[in-house]
C-alpha cells in the first residue's frame, strides 16, 4: 500500500515534469488544442498542422515536420484529420486544467452549442459531466449506480485514470471498443455490425495485451540502439580531441621544419653580407692607400710648382742660376715619376642566386597526407580468418584502403 503511494507520488512528479515540457505546441507556442501525432512522433495542434499545410514554409509539396523536417506525407486537410490524436496529451491537458482548478468541458453537452463546464467525472464511463448531465446520469437506469467523482477528488488521480474514451467518427456517441485486424483500425460496435461485418475483430483490450509485449520488445530494441548511439558520441569527442592534438603536433612540426630552413637562410644571408663587407673593406683600404699616395704626390708637386714659380717671377737671376741644376733635377724627377692615376679597385661586385630552383624547392617543400586505412573499405582475406588450430600460426591478409576506396598497402599478418 505504502509502496503504491510512493509510486503514485513519483508518477505525479513525472506528470508535472511532462506537463511543463510537453504541453506547449512548438508552432503556436500555446497549450495544445486537439493535439495530433505526425509520423515522426512529434505532436502539434491539428489546426497548426493544417495552417502549415496551407502556407508551407519552403513551398514543399508535402509537409515536413517543423521540428525534425521529416517528410510527413501529408498533402490535404483530410490527411491531417486522419492523424492519430495524442490522447496522452489530451489527458495531460485535462489533468493540468483540473490541477489548476480551471473548467473542463462536459462531454455530453453539444459541441455546437455553448458548453457548460463539468462538475464531475463518471468513473465507469470516464466522461466529464456538467451539473445538468450529472443529474441525468444519476437518474438514468443504466448509469444510476455509477461513481461520480468531484473535480477536487480528480486532483489525486493518476494520468492513466484520467484518460478520455475515444469515440467513433462515424457513429456519434459510440465508443471505440473493437479492433479490426483486416482494416488495422479501431472501430465501434456499430462499425463491427456494418462495414466490418465479415472482418475478423477483437476487443481493444485483447489487441492491446497482444501488442504490449511486441511494443515492449521494439521499445527495448530501440532503447538499446539509443544507448549505442548515445555511447558513440563521447568517442567522437575523444576523436575530436585526438584530431586537435595531432593537428597541433603537425603544426608544431611544420613550424620547426620551416623555422630551421629560415634559420639556414638567415645564416646564408649573414655569410653573403659578410663576404660583401669584406670586399668593401678591402677595396676601401686599397683606395685609401692609393689616395694617400696621390695626395702626397699632389702636395709635393704643388710645393715644387709654387717654389719655381716664385723664383721665376720674383727671384734675381743669380739666385736662379745658382740653383738651376737642383730645380731642373727635382722638376724632372717629379714629372717623370710614375703616378697610379686609375683607381686601384673597381665598384663591380656581382650577386647571383638561382632563384627559380630555390623557389621551386620552397613551393614543393613538405606535404600533408591525410589518408589512413579506413575500416569500412578495408578487408581481410585468407583461410586463417576462418580456420585455426591451437598453437599454430595462421595466415591472412589485411587489405587496407583509404576512405576513397584507394588501396594503400597490403600487410600480410
| Contacting residues toward Zn ion, per CB under 5 A | 25, 27-28, 40, 42, 45, 48, 65, 67-68, 106, 108-109, 122, 124-125, 130, 133, 143, 146, 168, 170-171, 180, 182-183, 188, 190-191, 196, 199
Distance CA 380, CA 376 (A): 11
Q: Which residue's CB is nearer to Zn ion, number 68 or number 289?
A: 68
| 3-class secondary-structure state, position 3 | helix
Residue 48 or 92: the one with the smaller Cβ distance to Zn ion is 48
Asked if 109 contacts 133 with a C-beta cutoff of 8 angstroms, the reply is yes
Query: Least CB distance from residue 366 to Zn ion, whole Å?
Result: 49
Distance between CA atoms of residues 309 and 322, nearest Å: 16
Q: Which is nearer to Zn ion, 138 or 330 (CB)?
A: 138
Query: Nearest distance from residue 390's CB to Zn ion, in Å?
Result: 55
190 backbone dihedrals φ, ψ, rounded to 5°: -65, -45
Residue with grid cell 469515440, as numbered in its chain:
167
Q: How many CB atoms lie within 10 A of CB 299?
A: 10
Closer by beta carbon to Zn ion, 171 or else 261: 171
Nearer to Zn ion, 171 or 283 (CB): 171
> CB of 190 within 8 A of CB of 210?
no
* Least Å from the CB of residue 225 to Zn ion: 18
Query: Which helix or strand (DSSP H or E) is residue 293 part of?
Result: helix 204-314
Write down the least CB distance from residue 157 to Zn ion, Å: 16
Cβ-based nearer residue to Zn ion, 98 or 191:
191
Q: What is the pairing mode between strands 43-45 and 407-412?
A: unpaired
Q: Rounded CA gap, 413 and 410, in Å? A: 9
Report residue 21 as a C-alpha cell: 515540457
Between 65 and 162, whose beta carbon lies closer to Zn ion? 65
Min dist. Cβ of residue 86 to Zn ion (A)? 12
Distance between CA atoms of residues 124 and 222, nearest Å? 36
Amino acid at each position: 500500500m505504502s509502496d503504491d503511494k510512493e509510486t503514485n507520488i513519483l508518477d505525479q512528479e513525472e506528470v508535472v515534469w511532462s506537463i511543463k515540457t510537453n504541453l506547449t505546441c512548438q508552432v503556436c507556442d500555446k497549450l495544445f488544442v486537439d493535439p495530433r501525432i505526425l509520423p515522426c512522433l512529434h505532436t502539434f495542434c491539428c489546426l497548426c498542422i493544417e495552417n502549415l499545410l496551407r502556407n508551407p514554409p519552403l513551398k514543399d509539396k508535402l509537409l515536413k515536420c517543423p521540428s525534425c523536417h521529416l517528410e510527413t506525407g501529408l498533402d490535404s486537410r483530410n490527411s491531417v484529420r486522419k492523424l492519430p490524436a495524442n490522447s496522452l496529451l489530451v489527458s495531460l491537458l485535462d489533468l493540468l486544467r483540473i490541477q489548476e482548478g480551471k473548467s473542463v468541458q462536459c462531454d455530453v453537452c453539444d459541441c455546437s452549442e455553448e458548453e457548460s463546464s463539468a462538475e464531475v467525472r463518471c468513473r465507469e464511463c470516464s466522461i466529464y459531466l456538467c451539473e445538468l448531465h450529472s443529474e441525468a446520469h444519476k437518474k438514468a437506469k443504466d448509469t444510476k449506480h455509477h461513481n461520480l467523482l468531484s473535480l477536487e477528488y480528480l486532483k489525486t488521480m493518476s494520468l492513466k485514470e484520467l484518460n478520455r474514451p475515444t469515440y467513433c467518427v462515424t457513429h456519434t456517441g459510440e465508443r471505440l471498443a473493437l479492433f479490426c485486424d483486416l482494416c488495422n483500425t479501431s472501430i465501434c460496435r456499430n462499425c463491427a455490425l456494418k462495414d466490418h461485418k465479415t472482418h475478423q475483430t477483437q476487443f481493444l483490450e485483447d489487441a492491446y495485451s497482444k501488442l504490449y509485449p511486441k511494443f515492449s520488445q521494439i521499445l527495448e530494441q530501440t532503447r538499446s540502439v539509443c544507448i549505442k548511439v548515445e555511447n558513440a558520441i563521447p568517442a567522437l569527442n575523444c576523436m575530436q580531441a585526438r584530431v586537435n592534438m595531432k593537428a597541433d603536433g603537425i603544426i608544431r612540426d611544420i613550424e620547426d621544419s620551416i623555422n630551421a630552413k629560415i634559420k639556414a637562410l638567415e645564416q646564408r644571408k649573414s655569410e653573403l653580407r659578410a663576404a660583401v663587407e669584406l670586399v668593401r673593406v678591402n677595396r676601401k683600404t686599397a683606395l685609401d692607400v692609393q689616395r694617400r699616395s696621390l695626395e702626397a704626390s699632389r702636395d709635393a708637386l704643388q710645393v715644387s710648382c709654387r717654389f719655381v714659380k716664385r723664383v721665376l717671377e720674383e727671384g734675381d737671376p743669380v739666385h736662379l742660376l745658382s740653383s738651376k741644376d737642383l730645380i731642373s733635377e727635382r722638376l724632372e724627377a717629379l714629372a717623370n715619376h710614375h703616378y697610379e692615376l686609375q683607381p686601384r679597385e673597381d665598384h663591380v661586385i656581382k650577386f647571383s642566386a638561382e632563384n627559380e630552383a630555390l623557389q621551386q624547392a620552397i613551393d614543393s617543400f613538405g606535404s600533408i597526407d591525410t589518408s589512413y586505412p579506413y575500416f569500412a573499405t578495408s578487408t581481410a582475406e585468407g583461410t586463417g580468418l576462418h580456420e585455426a588450430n591451437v598453437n599454430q600460426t595462421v595466415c591472412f591478409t589485411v587489405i587496407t584502403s583509404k576512405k576513397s576506396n584507394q588501396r594503400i598497402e597490403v600487410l600480410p599478418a
